[in-house]
Chain A
Amino acid sequence: MKAKRIEGGTARGNDDLELQLSSLLDGEVDDATCRSLLERLRRDGEAGRNWELLNCVGDAMRSSDVASWHRPGFVLKVAAALEQEPTVLAPAALPRVGLRRWMLPGAGVAAAAAVLLAVGLPRLQSGAPVEVASTAPASLQVRAAAPAGQPEIERSPVLERYLAAHRELADPTVMPFSTPYVRTSGAILTQESR
């Protein structure tokens, strides 16, 4: 489970300190290191602020909107409280969020929220698309064929060709990127049949 355990020794340089603090937050340091870090947090204001920042980063990363309401003043207040009493920072009392992974570029979100969504998709009433009569002579009749068994898109090689081409350049800005691909996953790709 643990990637590695940080063994004792004093922190050298800010990078080392940050790594050790995030290990502390993960509960991944041995007792001696824990004690020396807590001592350092008590004495060293900079280290204390780092510690608070790490906690904030963890929260901010877990929920991307947290950052938007992050208030430095609040952090300072907590930092002040914590500097008074560093022992409340015992790692066991903190949620184990694997913060260290947050700190590394490219590391994924470690706080995993595994859930099962029971999605009750209501049966849609408008099952078959509406037939549309077109009167313009040069235009094409748009009409829904709806025999069961096969997805509609697959039944229309002409339409799916355009859909595949449309999908390539249609950027959904609010919807997730995949939306057009999920929508037309069965469409023959433009070049496929060339």
Chain B
Amino acid sequence: MRGAMSLRWLGAVAVLFACVSWAQDRAAEADARTPEQWLQLVQQSARRLDYSGTLIYQRGTETRMSKIVHVFDGKVAHERLQPLDGRQREFIRRADEVKCLVPDAKRVIVERKARPESFPALASASADELLRSYSVKNVGRERVGGFDCQVLEIQPKQNDRFGYRLWVDRASGLLLRSQTLGERGEVLEQMAFSDLRIGSVDREQLKPSWSTEGWQVDETAYKPVDLREQGWRLVPPAGFKPMYAVRRPMKDGPALQAVFSDGLASLSVFIEPAAAAGSRDSLPSAGPINAFARQVGDATVTVVGEVPFSTARSVAQAAERIGR
């Protein structure tokens, strides 16, 4: 009897010891993670974790709140985003398809990303590729809303793009707060969770607020194109890879759109007949979003993206017509 008791204690102590060393290992693992591994973890966690909460977005004097529900079903991610300010609308995502619900107009606008088969150039940016354009540093630990967070600073190697500061939950890898930084380190925009709940998301919460029965459904039709065949040569900043080149409808007719991304920032180049683009007297910049438009022959080239103004301008200025 006594032998059985002490054996039992021994077992309990062994388990306790195992748990402690496990926890230590785990903390050590987080400490040992390189900046690149942190970035990979952020990428994975954003997709694979279940969470719900409220996102606060701030840019200049403007603040927006959105409710977000995210569920990973083992294969694809489902998400519902409800902006709480401005006009009523909701974004319901399943994998690469986003349905934008506009209750005022009783319309559903379906955005479906055209995927790899038609875009062989499309490859998700790896941490390695990111490191060619940015240097990533662990700059310490900070508590954010009770979460022990790793703070990462991502500095561009050249000032043709912005920097970022990220707060990543060390336990789950979820990005809890992010800032986009200008050339002088000033904060251009920031995003952070208020009331966040990780795990245990009721799938009912993914359902839209309105029944869309009888609503008009529109789907954006993209047609992949070869820019050279279309007679255009575009020069993105170094490190930006071509993601898409499509012919797509815009408000006043078809346009060419080319999207480039360096894994963190992206920019679009729109090419339209000058007449359709019309005369514009101004394009405002909005925090990290800058735009520049320029006439090239009978076309208007408009560059829009999360890049500095000078970058948007140089991309627009480098756009040229080439012989077919």
Contact = CB atoms under 8 A, between A and B. Distances in A.
A117 B248 contact: no
Interface in B257-272: 257, 259, 261, 263-264, 266-268, 270
B304 A159 contact: yes
Given A109-B199, A174-B39, A81 B14 contact: yes
Interface stretch (B141-149, B155-163, B225-233): B141-149
Interface string B162-184: 00000000011101111000100
Interface in B33-80: 39, 41-50, 53, 55-64, 66, 68, 71, 73-74, 77, 79
B197 A113 contact: yes
A142 to B, nearest CB: 5
B89 A185 contact: yes
Interface stretch (A4-12, A23-31, A118-126): A118-126
B40 to A, nearest CB: 9
A138 B296 CA distance: 9
State which size class the interface on A falls in: 35 or more
Q: Which 3 A-B pairs have the closest CB atoms?
A: A117-B145, A85-B11, A109-B199
Interface in A4-56: none
Contact of B305 (A105, A108, A166, A171): A166
Given A109-B200, A110-B200, A152-B62, A186 B186 contact: no
B194 A117 contact: yes
A114 B113 CA distance: 33
A124 B187 CA distance: 7
A111 B147 contact: no
A116 B194 contact: yes
Given A113-B198, A139-B313, A152 B60 contact: yes
The prevalent SS among residues of A at the interface is: loop
Interface of B: 7-8, 10-12, 14-15, 18, 22, 25-26, 29-30, 39, 41-50, 53, 55-64, 66, 68, 71, 73-74, 77, 79, 81, 83, 85-87, 89, 91, 93, 98, 100, 102, 105, 107, 109, 111, 113, 124-125, 130, 144-147, 171-173, 175-178, 182, 186-203, 218, 220, 222, 243-244, 246, 248-251, 257, 259, 261, 263-264, 266-268, 270, 280-287, 289-295, 302, 304-305, 309, 313, 316-317
Interface string A176-194: 1111011111100111111
A136 interface: yes
A93 to B, nearest CB: 8
Interface in A93-136: 105-106, 108-119, 121-122, 124-130, 132, 134, 136
